[in-house]
């Protein structure tokens, strides 16, 4: 079927990797104090927004296992609706899902952020990036970083962001096919919660780690097996609370060579790490077009 939406109608919704993830402690509300380096990728889902005056928010392609009312895309749009400067602002949202769900690469949070950033323009809300990030935080700890769209160190629950330029490496991201609940990992008694804080200036991949990795490997031997396979070829680590694992390369061809050797049981993608996300680039293009009108 021909795509009824032009390429310009699509807004990117990229994945992220946590190049490291340390847990420093736990706040009274149960959330954890983290330190992490969020690496934006040039790969992800995409969304298109067909606005109307129906006053309702519709999702054209439901996600298996996620009722539309609970989809972060629909929840984000509904949170923004009162800020619209158009009569009876409504929208039909198209979601082209590529990213595995529950993989630690932030798909749902990124979808929510793209919805906030795009509808802020299309509904003429005129909210600042800070205001969008605040709304995003009420949907999930990872949403603000996707609103800002920059590779960054993060503290707090993940919302205190310090942008930092990183080498734009290539990543082979492998999905062992396991869906992991972030809440289950953070709820585990055996999770280490007392890692000493690091200075951002002294960050090195080799001297950091992912504090969630061991318990996920213990609970899901498939993740341990995947890591053991990947570390033969490149520095590798789990992202977020899993289950995806990434291997780091300076060269795209090397990443693709290793990808070609992966056992068939695991799915994967190769993506470039970027300091500015494709969403941020799209927003700049849209703003540049409207400035010249």
Ligand X SMILES: Nc1ncnc2c1ncn2[C@@H]1O[C@H](COP(=O)(O)OP(=O)(O)OP(=O)(O)O)[C@@H](O)[C@H]1O
Ligand Y SMILES: C[C@](O)(CO)[C@H](O)COP(=O)(O)OP(=O)(O)OC[C@H]1O[C@@H](n2ccc(N)nc2=O)[C@H](O)[C@@H]1O
**In this chain, which residue has its C-beta nearest to ligand X?**
108
Known binding-site residues for ATP equal 100-110
CB 48 within 8 A of CB 9: yes
Closer residue to ligand Y (CB): 32 or 280: 32
Give the nearest distance from C-beta 243 to ligand X in angstroms: 8
Tell me how far apart the terminal alpha carbons of the chain are, to the nearest angstrom. 33
Tokens of 169: 């490496």
Binding mask 227-266 for ligand Y (x = CB under 6 A): -------------xx-------------------------
Which member of 32, 75, 148, 280 binds ligand Y (CB under 6 A)?
A: 32
Does residue number 44 form part of the binding site for ligand X (CB under 6 A)? no
Known binding-site residues equal 100-110
DSSP 244: -
Closer residue to ligand X (CB): 156 or 233: 156
Q: CA-based Rg of the chain, rounded to a whole angstrom?
A: 19
Distance CA 153, CA 220 (A): 28
**Complete DSSP assignment for 159-186:** TEEEE------EEEEEE-S----HHHHH
Name 137's Cβ contacts closer than 8 Å, sequence gap at least 6.
143, 144, 159
**In this chain, which residue has its C-beta nearest to ligand Y?**
140
Strand partners, 248: 171
16 is a catalytic site residue: yes
Give the nearest distance from C-beta 106 to ligand Y in angstroms: 6
DSSP 211: T
- Judged by the rule CB under 6 A, the positions of this chain that interact with ligand X are 63, 66, 70-73, 101-109, 111, 142, 182, 240-241
- Judged by the rule CB under 6 A, the positions of this chain that interact with ligand Y are 18, 21, 30-32, 34, 36, 104, 109, 140-142, 157-158, 182-183, 186, 240-241
Active-site residue list: 16, 142
């Amino acid at each position: 079927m021909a795509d009824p939406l032009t390429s310009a109608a699509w807004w990117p919704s990229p994945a992220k990797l946590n190049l490291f993830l340390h847990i420093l402690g736990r706040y009274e509300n149960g959330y954890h104090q983290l330190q992490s380096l969020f690496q934006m990728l040039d790969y992800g889902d995409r969304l298109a927004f067909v606005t109307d005056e129906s006053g309702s928010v519709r999702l054209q392609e439901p996600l298996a296992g996620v009722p539309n009312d609970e989809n972060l895309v629909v929840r984000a749009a509904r949170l923004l609706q009162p800020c619209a400067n158009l009569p009876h602002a409504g929208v039909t949202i198209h979601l082209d899902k590529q990213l595995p769900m529950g993989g630690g690469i932030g798909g749902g949070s990124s979808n929510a952020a793209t919805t906030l950033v795009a509808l802020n323009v299309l509904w003429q809300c005129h909210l600042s990036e800070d205001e969008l990030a605040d709304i995003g935080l009420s949907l999930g700890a990872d949403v603000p970083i996707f609103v800002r769209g920059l590779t960054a160190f993060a503290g707090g629950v993940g919302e205190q962001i310090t942008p930092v330029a990183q080498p734009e490496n290539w990543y082979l991201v492998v999905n062992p096919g396991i869906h992991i609940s972030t809440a289950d990992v953070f709820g585990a008694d055996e999770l280490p919660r007392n890692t000493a804080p690091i200075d951002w200036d002294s960050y090195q991949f080799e001297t950091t780690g992912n504090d969630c990795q061991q318990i996920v490997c213990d609970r899901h031997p498939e993740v341990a097996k995947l890591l053991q396979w990947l570390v033969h070829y490149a520095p590798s680590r789990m992202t977020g609370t899993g289950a995806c694992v990434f291997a780091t390369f300076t060269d795209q061809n090397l990443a693709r060579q290793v990808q070609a050797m992966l056992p068939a049981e695991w799915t994967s993608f190769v993506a470039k790490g970027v300091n500015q996300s494709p969403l941020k680039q799209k927003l700049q293009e849209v703003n540049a077009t409207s400035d010249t009108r």
